[in-house]
Each structure stands twice: as C-alpha cells, then as structure tokens.
Amino acid sequence: MYSKSNNKLKTMHKIHNNKHTNCPAQLILTLLPSATKLNGFCVSVLLKHNHNHLVQVADALRFRLLSEQSKKDYYDLFSQGHSPATAHLEYETNLMYSDKPNLIADRNCNPKLSDVYNLFNKWRKCNIGVRTGKYLFAELEKCVAVYNEEYNDIGGKAFIQRYSNCSGKEEPLILAVCTPLMSRVHRHIMQSKELVFIDASSSFEDFNNPMFVVYTSSAAGGLPLGIVVTSAENAIVIYQGMTKLIQMFPEDAFYGSGSPKKL
C-alpha cells in the first residue's frame, strides 16, 4: 500500500498473503528415456510431502480447486431458477445440515461466492446465451417466436424490436408482452374500461432497461394488462412501445370498450 506525499511514493506497509509460507514441500518431475518404447520417454514423480504449515485447516483448504461434483450441484440449482446468491445460500445450508458440516471451509466442496458467480456466468452463456450484441437479440427473437407459437391460441402475444444504431440512426429496444392472464383481465375485469394506470420501474438488471407495466384496479388490487420494456425513457420511445403493446391486446380489450375512460 502506498501514499503519495511531496511527489514521492512512500511504502506504508506490505500485506503478506498467508498462502506464501516458503513451504519446503516439492513435486519433482524427471523426464527419463523409456526402456520399453523406441524413442519414448517416461516421467519419474517424486513428491516431498514435508509442509511447514497445517494442511487440513480452513486457511489452506480455501485455496483448493473446485470439484466437478460441486460444479454440477450449482448448475442444477441454476437450472431450477436460483440466482448466484440464493444458490450459494441453498448450497451452504444443505452442506451445514449434512453429516460433514466441516466441509463448509473446503473450497473444493464449498466454492466461494465469487466462484459461484463465475459458474453462473458460464452456465448462463451455455444455457441462455450471451448478454450483449446481436446474438442476444437473436436469442430473444427466438424466444418471442416460440412464445407466440405456444400461447397465441389462449391470448398470449409478444413483440420485440431489436436495438440498433447504424449510420447514426438509432432504433430503440422495444419488448411488448401480453400474457394469457392479462388477456383474461381485459375480458373479465370491468374496471379495465374505467381506469388504467402505468407503473414505471427500472434498475432491475445490469443494463437498467425501464419496464412499464399497465395495470387496472380490482377488488383484489392491481391486475396487469400488459408489459413494455424499452432501452430509453423518452416520450417517443414510450409512445412506440405502447403502440406495439396495444397491437398485442385481444380484440375485446378493456372489457370490450377498446380503450379506457381514464389513464
């Protein structure tokens, strides 16, 4: 650690990592000519297991490599819908109540939270796709196409316009969704023709894309009528998103009135 004073760098103190103990343990590999294979070689392995520190303690076990079984367990948790944080909590809780709770200090069996995030990024890239670029939008377009094919008959519709910025002309991201539940709210909730309000939220994910949820009131509280996700919050983009969302609504939208009395 350094501090700058009078244009000079002065060393304040040095932090030594406990991993470096000048341990005399050695692994010696010697390449020898093979007596059985023509022009071949064999390897002599000599392991000097004379450590100058304890090896079965948390301070040493935290440097071990991850086991394949722990990776598989975390991949299974991600497939169940866990985030890195909730997967880490679930995994540690199960390990703590197992018959070997001392393994919680072993990185081989209990990865660190940073390891879990790395595993999650690998799993997401393989199972969901990349997070940016044209491949992301291609994957989203596939998901929207599959959604429309599966749920169109029961009122589920979706639309996506991919983000682009070519030759100075920017096309915003627009994702409009009307689920089967939202279609039923349009048809059966009389308040949808009287009053509709919009909740604008953001900061749900890394790219901070705003999400606009269209609601109506009911005896049970607010019920959703549609969702729009955009890449900007200016009036033009919001208007374009809402226009696409209206096209996703069923023919008898807003309790058959076609539009609400108050917004």
pLDDT given at position 13? 46
Contacts of 148 (CB under 8 A, 6+ apart): 156, 157, 158
Helical ranges in 152-210 per DSSP H = 180-188
Helical ranges in the chain per DSSP H = 58-61, 68-79, 84-96, 113-127, 134-151, 180-188, 235-248
pLDDT given at position 177? 96
**Domain range for 228:** 144-248
Judge whether 93 lies within some domain.
yes
- The verdict on 17 and 104 lying in the same domain is no
- The verdict on 149 and 236 lying in the same domain is yes
- The verdict on 75 and 13 lying in the same domain is no
Judge whether 135 lies within some domain.
no
Domain boundary among the residues 81, 98, 127 is at 127
Judge whether 258 lies within some domain.
no
Judge whether 97 lies within some domain.
yes
Beta partners for residue 31, in sequence order: 43
Q: pLDDT by residue (tens digit) across 152-166?
A: 999 999 999 988 877
Q: Along the 263 residues of the chain, how does pLDDT read in single tens digits?
A: 334 444 444 444 444 556 677 888 888 888 877 666 656 678 888 888 888 877 777 777 888 899 999 999 999 999 999 999 999 999 999 988 888 877 888 889 999 999 999 999 999 888 877 776 677 788 888 999 999 999 999 999 999 998 887 777 888 899 999 999 999 999 999 999 999 999 988 666 667 788 999 999 988 899 999 999 998 888 999 999 999 999 999 999 999 998 888 87
Domain boundary among the residues 101, 127, 153 is at 127
Judge whether 136 lies within some domain.
no
Alpha-carbon gap, residue 22 to 103, rounded angstroms? 26
Q: How many CB atoms lie within 10 A of CB 17?
A: 7
Judge whether 43 lies within some domain.
yes
- The verdict on 193 and 241 lying in the same domain is yes
- The verdict on 80 and 32 lying in the same domain is no
Looking at the whole model, is its pTM more than 0.75?
A: no
Judge whether 138 lies within some domain.
no
- The verdict on 214 and 239 lying in the same domain is yes
- The verdict on 21 and 92 lying in the same domain is no
The count of structural domains within the chain is: 3
pLDDT given at position 1? 38
Phi and psi at 223, nearest 5°, equal: -120, 140
